[in-house]
Structure 1
């Protein structure tokens, strides 16, 4: 199979018929063998009934329905686990991503050898203050923190080699950082393509200030995981050693001063250096314990899904 098109969605019933027709038209005109995998992330507007109706007319349509809204990352994780295509395309269900970009994205993977190609919505039709400006700030911070030189981490339209989606673990809110996760797993040939952005035709955007804040918090998480995810002791041990050295130096100073210089002076507990030494050594010990615990958890962790599927459509369990 050439292509697997993975489409996570939440309350996009109005756009699904049009989106399916558009994708099918592009696939057939280019002679692709394909599957369209819709992941209903807890919709309440009848989106699943639309997906069932589409599957009745088109055997290329497949579906996954979550018990409730678990988030886009979990939807992608479930979809990636069931893809069968050589190239996997992700796109949003709101008609803002243009399916006519898919053939060129496919060629960039298959002919130019990219592991991953991310879309770049250079010209956007979103609110400047509500989404464009926060997105620019977020992308700037992501580039500087991750080292992955993309202009648009948030673009839902991306293409992947099958090996990439079968390797990366997309959990939490990490769907924005799949290129970074791929790079961390050794898939370093990451490209970018300017893609057409469509104005939203139905419904309302799911983007809000809460997602913007979560995005930056996730950026800190991905930075930590990229640098120290497989060796937490290197971070916590370094800080622990530094704190213990500081505490030991203050304690040594207090001991020498008390024994040889100021023998009749104040009690040690009356001097601020005593508390600095005490706090530094306690913090140092705690950092070391955190590092040890991180190493133990890393070596004994079990991979667990953090979503629950209610039913699947035209897919093998």
Structure 2
């Protein structure tokens, strides 16, 4: 068998990962800008597509067919900027990796400085920041800037490194640094920099490079309330994820809201509608159960969200599991109170805890299964 012949090439110096979702019109302009900015550096650009429906992957493939510096990584059934970036980093052999948005809002002329900070100055991490002298947030309104700065302050307890802009999605790093933390990355949400810094076992050496955030010229913004929720989920994961799953905390919070809904419906049914207690309680249970299911489907398990007929099938399985959980709740509470002589409040709390764990574990496996 003929052996694969070695071809002399300049070693790959930098891999630029570009996570994209419906950025067709920005692919060409971004590559042109990167070619100019990174002249003299042996680089590749890895587009990681999460199921674009506007022809983005086809556009990248057409360019990649004639330019070996361009690669495409298509993900099926998986979404999320952080996990997309991590997969892009792990798919290259370049020793320096960088991430830049595909919407042209990051200043590509800063990339050479980020690269040199790693390759020549020896830093492990180089971050493009909007909040250092010389940087800026462009045309952001005051409300958005305040929210961003609040998010920055909230990140302080989980970062081991002083970062002026932990929300930044524009940075470079030694690939070895990413590999060291890869198994501990939560890959939740959109803030891979925060995830990387918080997950790494040691304090990283870093350099910050200011840049001015640009306005979007094409495509649509991906920012919505889900992004904020995922950010807080990431913070919680880094603070307490070693002790208790964040999804369990979210499941419990939804359950607490469901209790309020239950009591409100019960009160209205008894006092305003004039129903008997049994009928009012049944209505309250069904309403709260449906509320809990809908909220968990929308937020706690948004990455496995059910829709269409699957939504109704999920509701049925959720109700079945929670009915068994209620029985476990009553059984455990009765045993602890009657047989062990515990105080009523302790028995009730233990019963509720057992019921909550049962509901969370079984619905996670049955209702929102990844299978």
Contact map agreement 1:148 1:179 (CA 8 A) in 2: no
Distance 2:30 2:202 in 1: 30
Which piece of structure 1 moves more, 8-17 or 207-216?
207-216
Write the distance in 2 (CA, Å) between the matches of 1:183 and 1:171.
10
Aligned-partner SS, 1:4: strand
2: CA distance, partners of 1:57 / 1:196? 32
Distance in 1, Cα, partners of 2:83 & 2:199:
20
Deviations 1:244-278 (A, max 9, x none): xxxxxxxxxxxxxxxxxxxxxxxx99xxx932454
8 Å Cα contact 1:77-1:171 kept in structure 2: no
Q: 2:25 aligns with which of 9, 14, 21?
A: 14
1:98-247 alignment runs, 5 A limit: 98-122=107-131, 123-128=136-141, 131-169=144-182, 170-188=185-203, 189-225=205-241, 229=242
Distance change (3 Å), C-alpha of 1:115 and 1:175 = farther
Structure 2: how far apart are the matches of 1:49 and 1:148?
40
In structure 2, the residue matched to 1:274 is 343
Alignment correspondent of 1:238? none
Two-structure CA RMSD over aligned residues (Å)? 3.0
Aligned to 1:250: none
Quote the residue 1:65 is aligned against: 74
**2:36 counterpart (25, 32, 40):** 25
What per-residue deviation string (whole Å, max 9, x for no partner) do you get for residues 257-300 of structure 1?
A: xxxxxxxxxxx99xxx93245457x48x97xx99xx9xxxxxxx
User: In 2, distance between residues paired with 1:126 and 1:42?
Assistant: 29
Residue deviations 1:77-123, cap 9 Å, x none?
Answer: 22111111121010100000111111111111123322112211231
Aligned to 1:46: 55
Please, what TM-score do these two structures have when normalized by structure 2? 0.59
Superposed displacement of residue 149, structure 1: 2.2
Return the match for 1:78 from 71, 87, 103: 87
The answer to whether the Cα contact below 8 Å between 1:109 and 1:116 also exists between their aligned partners in 2 is yes
Cα distance in 2 for partners of 1:21, 1:85 equals: 21
User: Per the alignment, in what secondary structure is the counterpart of residue 173 of structure 1?
Assistant: coil
Is this contact kept in 2: 1:153–1:177, CA < 8 A? no
Distance, in Å, in 1 between the alignment partners of 2:56 and 2:67 is: 16
How many residue pairs get aligned? The number is 246
- List per-residue Cα deviations over 1:32-90 (Å, max 9, x = no partner): 11111011111000101110121123111111112245111221122111111121010
Between 1 and 2, higher relative CO (CA 8 Å, sep ≥ 6) is seen in 1
- For 1:171 and 1:164, the matched residues in 2 are separated by 16
Q: What is the Cα deviation at residue 24 of structure 1?
A: 1.1
Separation of aligned partners in 2, 1:55 and 1:46: 14
Per-residue deviation at 1:190?
A: 3.1
Q: Distance in 2 between matches of 1:167 and 1:174?
A: 20
TM-score after normalising by structure 1: 0.69
Aligned in 2, Cα 1:279/1:114: closer, same or farther, shift over 3 Å?
farther
CA gap 1:177/1:132 in 2 versus in 1, 3 angstroms: same
What's the CA shift for 1:146? 3.3
Cα distance change on mapping 1:210 and 1:175 into 2, 3 Å: closer
